[in-house]
């Protein structure tokens, strides 16, 4: 049998011998795949509807029996919500790049991580979204085409929830299920109590508060909510959120009145984790609290839920109820502190591979 050399293949540049007609094989690389929730491709009706349909059809997100949920989703939600949510996205849209902030930050995080890992010449960094584009399947295939025999997949959620971390894992493994020749896999675990993460949050608070001309009486750590029933059935998310706040409080030397935990972004008629952020800022203002700061430790990047719901809506609620000073502390995003967290976790998970 004739063998031919394929210089573009082989481990880290070494030539491999392949039989004539053999499909090309690229090997020797390690992929790092950052995955965030996803975001619409545009704010008009159809891109919004496509995104919401995929998101709200996920059984990990809405656990109701399909026979009950699908008529509501298709008959009501997908007819009304695309317009309403589209208007909200419009208010925060990155017009320069014509995309949502979540996409801008996720891409930048991948680019900055790639630059930070440049010394590891067998590592390729890329990014994908659980819902919408670029899909996990497409990017995973692309990493393999570029020679990745091993992939570290990082669901970008500090606190584990079945509605976020698990569904990213599911989608990733669903893509692998279709492959004859699979890469070896590592997934990055939740990091709600990692010292590097707590330190980065603490510094982001200190740095932001140094830029405003008031001292907040109360600082709210506001996490995305989940239905209470998911928590009762064993989702550890609530405990992870509480632990993040406790460690942050200890690091800052604050008491339980100064740094509190709340939950935002309720959806549907069920009871969600409480206390609710919007009700809490209103109550605080009515009780005479004049200055409040809110941070979103569960969001790796600023997005609709932080920029519109907190920086926008929650601030308005606070002022209408008599509050005077309100400030939103930005997420870690692609800041030096935020990138230090992502890099530290990825370097740890690459041990023995890169």
Cβ 7 to ligand L6N33NVT, closest distance in Å?
A: 43
Helices first, then strands: H and E counts in the chain: 12, 10
Residue 305 assigned as binding residue:
yes
- Binding ligand L6N33NVT (rule: CB under 6 A), the pick from 37, 200, 294, 314 is 37
Looking at the Cβ atoms of 161 and 327, the one nearer to ligand L6N33NVT is 161
C-alpha dihedral sign at 217, 219, 225, 227: negative
Of 177, 30, 20, 34, whose CA–CA distance to 102 is shortest? 34
Cβ 37 to ligand L6N33NVT, closest distance in Å?
A: 4
Pairing of strands 3-6, 16-19: antiparallel
Task: Check binding of 354 to ligand L6N33NVT (CB under 6 A).
Answer: no
> Can you tell me the distance from the alpha carbon of 38 to that of 246, in angstroms, rounded to the nearest whole number?
29
Number of shown-chain residues binding Fe ion (CB under 5 A): 3
Of 306, 242, 315, 304, whose CA–CA distance to 273 is shortest? 242
The two tokens of residue 65 are 């029996």
CB atoms within 10 A of CB 64: 15
Task: Check binding of 197 to ligand L6N33NVT (CB under 6 A).
Answer: no
Of 2, 96, 12, 88, whose CA–CA distance to 43 is shortest? 88
Cβ 265 to Fe ion, closest distance in Å?
A: 4
Question: Do residues 305 and 38 make contact, with C-beta atoms less than 8 angstroms apart?
Answer: no
Looking at the Cβ atoms of 117 and 303, the one nearer to ligand L6N33NVT is 303
Among positions 290-319, residues that touch Fe ion (CB under 5 A) are 305, 309
The two tokens of residue 343 are 């890099």
Part in contact with Fe ion (CB under 5 A); list of ranges 44-52, 228-236, 243-251, 260-268: 260-268
Residue 319 assigned as binding residue:
no
Task: Check binding of 224 to ligand L6N33NVT (CB under 6 A).
Answer: yes
Peptide bond into 163 cis (omega under 30): no
Residue 125's binding partner out of Fe ion, ligand L6N33NVT, none, with CB under 5 to 8 Å set by partner kind: none
Q: Which residues bind Fe ion (CB under 5 A)?
A: 265, 305, 309
Q: Which residues bind ligand L6N33NVT (CB under 6 A)?
A: 37, 39, 55, 61-62, 81, 85, 100, 102, 157, 161, 163-164, 224, 226, 237, 265, 267, 298-299, 303-305
């Amino acid at each position: 049998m004739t063998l031919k050399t394929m210089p573009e293949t082989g481990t880290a540049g070494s030539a491999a011998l392949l039989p004539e007609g053999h499909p090309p094989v690229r090997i020797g690389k390690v992929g790092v795949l950052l995955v965030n929730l996803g975001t619409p491709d545009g704010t008009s009706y159809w891109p919004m509807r496509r995104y919401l349909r995929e998101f709200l059809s996920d059984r990990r997100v809405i656990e109701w029996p399909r026979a009950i949920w699908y008529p509501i989703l298709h008959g009501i939600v997908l007819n009304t919500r695309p317009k309403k949510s589209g208007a909200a996205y419009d208010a925060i849209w990155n017009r320069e790049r014509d995309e949502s902030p979540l996409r801008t930050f996720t891409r930048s995080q991948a680019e900055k991580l790639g630059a930070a890992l440049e010394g590891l010449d067998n590592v390729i960094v890329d990014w994908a979204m659980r819902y919408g584009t670029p899909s996990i399947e497409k990017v995973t295939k692309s990493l393999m085409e570029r020679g990745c025999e091993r992939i570290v997949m990082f669901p970008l959620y500090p606190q584990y929830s079945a509605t976020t971390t698990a569904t990213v894992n599911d989608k990733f493994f669903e893509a692998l299920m279709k492959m004859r020749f699979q890469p070896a896999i590592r997934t990055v675990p939740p990091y709600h109590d990692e010292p590097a993460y707590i330190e980065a949050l603490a510094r982001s608070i200190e740095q932001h508060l140094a830029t405003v001309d008031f001292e907040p009486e109360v600082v709210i750590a506001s996490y995305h909510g989940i239905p209470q029933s998911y928590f009762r059935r064993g989702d550890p998310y609530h405990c992870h959120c509480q632990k993040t706040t406790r460690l942050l409080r200890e690091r800052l030397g604050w008491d339980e009145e100064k740094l509190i935990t709340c939950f935002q972004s309720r959806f549907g008629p069920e009871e969600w984790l409480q206390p609710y952020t919007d009700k809490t800022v209103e109550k605080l203002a009515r009780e005479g609290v004049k200055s409040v700061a809110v941070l979103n430790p569960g969001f790796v990047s600023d997005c609709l839920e932080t920029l519109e719901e907190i920086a926008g809506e929650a601030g308005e609620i606070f002022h209408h109820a008599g509050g005077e000073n309100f400030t939103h502390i930005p997420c870690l995003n692609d800041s030096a502190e935020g990138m230090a967290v992502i890099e530290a976790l990825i370097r740890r998970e690459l041990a023995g591979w890169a």
